[in-house]
């Protein structure tokens, strides 16, 4: 069974000293009785302002049109990749288990919040253009486009939220351009757009499901589709200048190794990419 760690037992991100209720490993699952469990209630100011990307307060307000849980609700996808989730007090319950925080935290949607993660790779090469082989595993080393997140300084895949009604394929490309190639000059734009379209037309899905994201709560959680776009010859995006933008404050081609420490469950997704290409890990 899947479990979560990064959304437990620590300060809630972007909150004002919101400490999660302690949940020991053995009591994560809802199947275990935990009578003392009292999750801390938290909704961020940004969510309380009712921006377009957030749901109404379904717990306290009775909207004229009730949400369609576990369904495609208008253009909001309330379906989970983990199957049908349960409701508790009229709102979804995190299928992976307790997090020590309830309500939505900083997430906009009750239930699944859908994201997409583009993992753009090339081979690491030396000055002569030859693949660099790792000394211990004797396997070639892959590099991926990695961004530094503004919110907590973690290195991460340049992913982002799927907007209401947006196709996942659109999110993948849009987030990559926003976070990793933000200031492509106008004279470069057409050339870049063409190349990026070619690269992004042949992705390989490596993961679809729950993300162990530090923002998850008992009622709201992240799910993603992670897709690999590989520039085999390094002649596509491998040649472009990267530039951090939007909520990214840094960007670089990062070597893929087993020691990578990335945001949320991103190391797990990147590992799958290494395996897919029989590369060093």
Positions in the binding site for Mg ion (CB under 5 A): 160, 175, 246
Among 15, 97, 159, 238, binds ligand RP5 (CB under 6 A): 159
Least Cα distance to 91 among 65, 75, 112 occurs for: 112
Contacts of 203 (CB under 8 A, 6+ apart): 118, 169, 172, 227, 228, 229
Q: Which does residue 264 touch among ligand RP5, Mg ion, none (CB within 5 to 8 A, set by kind)?
A: ligand RP5
211 binds ligand RP5 (CB under 6 A): yes
Among 161, 172, 192, 237, binds ligand RP5 (CB under 6 A): 161
160 binds ligand RP5 (CB under 6 A): yes
Q: Measured from the CB of residue 168, what is the shortest distance to Mg ion in angstroms?
A: 14
Q: Which does residue 246 touch among ligand RP5, Mg ion, none (CB within 5 to 8 A, set by kind)?
A: Mg ion
Compose the 84-123 pattern: x for residues touching ligand RP5 by CB under 6 A, - for all others.
Answer: -------------------------------x-x------
Contact region for ligand RP5 (CB under 6 A) — 83-91, 129-137, 156-164, 235-243?
Answer: 156-164
Residue placing its CB nearer to ligand RP5 in the complex, 12 or 123: 12
157 binds ligand RP5 (CB under 6 A): yes
8 A C-beta contact, residue 229 and residue 121: yes
The secondary structure of the chain, three-state, reads CCCCCCCCCCECCCCCCCECCCCCHHHCCCCCCCCCCCCEEEECHHHHCCCCCCCCCCCCCCCCCCCCCCCEECCEECCCCCCCCCEECCEECCCCCCCCEEEEECCCCCEEEEEEEEEEEEECECCCCCECECCCCCCECEEEEEEEECCCCCEECCCEECCCCCCHHHHHHHHHHHHHECCCCHHHHHHHHHHHHHHHCCCEEEEEEECCCCCCCCCEEEEEEEEEEECCCCCCHHHCCCECCCCEEEEEEEECCCCCCCCCCHHHHHHHHHHHCCCCC
**Which residues are 113's β-sheet partners?**
222
Near ligand RP5 in 221-240, by CB under 6 A? 222, 224
Residue nearest Mg ion, CB atom distance? 160
Residue placing its CB nearer to ligand RP5 in the complex, 53 or 253: 53
Q: Measured from the CB of residue 84, what is the shortest distance to Mg ion in angstroms?
A: 28
Compose the 166-205 pattern: x for residues touching ligand RP5 by CB under 6 A, - for all others.
Answer: ----------------------------------------
- Site size toward ligand RP5, by CB under 6 A: 12
Q: Which does residue 117 touch among Mg ion, ligand RP5, none (CB within 5 to 8 A, set by kind)?
A: ligand RP5
- Interacting residues with ligand RP5 (CB under 6 A): 115, 117, 156-157, 159-161, 211, 213, 222, 224, 264
């Amino acid at each position: 069974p899947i479990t979560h760690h990064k959304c437990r037992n620590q300060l809630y991100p972007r909150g004002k000293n919101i400490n999660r209720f302690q949940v020991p490993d053995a009591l994560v699952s809802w199947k275990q009785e935990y009578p003392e469990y009292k999750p801390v209630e938290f909704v961020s100011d940004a969510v309380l302002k009712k921006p377009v990307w957030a749901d109404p307060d379904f717990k306290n307000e009775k909207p004229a049109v009730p949400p369609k849980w576990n369904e495609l609700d208008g253009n909001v996808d309330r379906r989970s990749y983990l199957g049908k989730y349960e409701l508790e007090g009229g709102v979804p319950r995190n299928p992976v288990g307790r997090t020590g925080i309830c309500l939505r935290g900083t997430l906009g949607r009750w239930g699944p919040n859908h994201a997409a993660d583009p993992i753009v790779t090339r081979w690491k090469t030396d000055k002569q253009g030859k693949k660099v082989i790792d000394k211990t595993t004797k396997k070639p080393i892959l590099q991926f486009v990695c961004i530094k997140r503004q919110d907590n300084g973690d290195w991460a895949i340049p992913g982002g939220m799927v907007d209401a009604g947006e196709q996942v394929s659109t999110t993948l490309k849009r987030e990559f351009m926003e976070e990793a190639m933000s200031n492509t000059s106008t004279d470069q734009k057409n050339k870049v757009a063409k190349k990026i379209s070619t690269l992004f037309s042949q992705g390989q899905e490596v993961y679809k499901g729950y993300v162990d994201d530090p923002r998850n709560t008992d009622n709201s959680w992240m799910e993603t589709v992670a897709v690999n776009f590989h520039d085999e010859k390094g002649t596509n995006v491998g040649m472009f200048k990267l530039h951090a933008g939007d909520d990214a404050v840094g960007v670089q081609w990062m070597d893929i190794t087993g020691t990578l420490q990335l945001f949320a469950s991103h190391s797990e997704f990147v590992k799958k990419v290494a395996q897919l290409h029989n590369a060093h890990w």
